A and B are shown apart, each in its own frame.
Chain A
């Protein structure tokens, strides 16, 4: 093992390389670009035994990745923002075809106007496609999850594609010390490629023609949903196995920081979970607020059971969303609120819409918003405004 300074994007590239990806197809877009640049360098220097298809668009990037994977090899792509939206159709196709592939998404806001900074509009827009969607907090997690995602998606109980998300610039272009595992370790962890079927010459297999039964077609959607439920177990198991090998475990679908005695929770996804940890430390030390961070690692499958467990002993939850469904609320809030309600857990829950379009959010911002939230609940037993836009102090 070797600890090296790596940007989030290089951590992704190392993850793909160590996973022995055989075909990479990608189209450049800021802030994802340095992932494919690095992979091209690995491949051209012979350090990585793979083919690179330098496609003419993101739609083709995922199409070629799907084609290679359907042809029987491990395939990888990466994109951001408009690129992800452009390939959106292919996300549905890849998941519907039950072809496991892994994609990194360096999350970036959507235009107009042109804006390269992070928010989660792009990745959250893929929740319904049938892909596993996770977001990393730091670059080590980025590398580890790129490798883990191959194992999770290629598990016969899952057989669905998966996204590893990392915030633009905050992770993608920020250098952190990252432990790069040995190839032998990854080889012992990651079995040879498994997938439900492979297109081969002479074997007249057909995929995707018009169904004779709509009920069977609906059952295919149901099966994706069931596999998502199964994926929860696989994610836990794979995480535990990785922890045994590397000493690094992430708690599976969620991690709860300082939650054992917490009366309040703040929930979030991605890099700013790190800021939430700091904010919680600060609130505990300075104000004696018993608050913990609920780090939601997987958006799909949604960790309903974990959320219910962590929420069962608290008074209220604040959710930070870095994207919004205009006319409704932030998607993380909606998922958490819906699943809590559906299980009969009634508690005040507040959506804080912050950091959209890349607006910087510091731990002080988070602490400030949380302090107001806590005092509101303390005073009134509820929140004044369940959905609040936070533009900074």
Chain B
């Protein structure tokens, strides 16, 4: 039983590897990361030119925000965000910590936090979206399902292989970011204190629980959340791959769902029901950073629960359909 499952997982892992999807991901990362590293270094050298002291830069940012706060033309929701930012920046200033000091670890943290809504899901799709539909369009599913193995075991082994590659993708992303950006910014920054534990209550940032953690610990916490978000995308695209016969259609469907989530979260928070859409909840890292969520009433626990519900639902659908469906083509 266990031996059989291990063999099946070995099969699925091997197939994804031999399809060379993971190489493609590595190549994309190896091209993109240097570009962002360059952009970041240009930005830091500019601000270094303008400010002798990073405290002045922070102070100016705070003044900027405060100016917009006093304006009447800015909508209330935007003001709320600015108020939170001002409080955070003031906190950094009081603690004498430069949040923008460029180093490899900070770069990695920033890159991964920004990648969580679009870039990482795209990488996940590259692996997940043809897991089942690819076997169908190639016809190999007929060989696969006529072997003396229960269908749920086959889908389960695909899921395990997928989990493995999603984890590997996130690790690879962190490692590549760190190694490449380190060339420009130096490999330090592990111990830099980062503040977390902000609790957002309406327009106030509750700083009573705020504490500094070393940046390595923060990156670890953040990676856990990113992994969770990526796994949700993986399970959803596995479901779409079971339901749709064509790989292209399953990629387009998932991309549409993910992009619409990003658009919805940027379109301010008028429609409260949008908070139950999975793709609006993918940006889990905002809760660590203390930036306000796209829609009022969302918090870390809420988002985790919404995402968990979506993944459980998609797993139920995937297994129910895959084990029962007739293979007609």
The yes or no verdict on A and B being binding partners is no
Residues of A within 8 A of B (CB): none
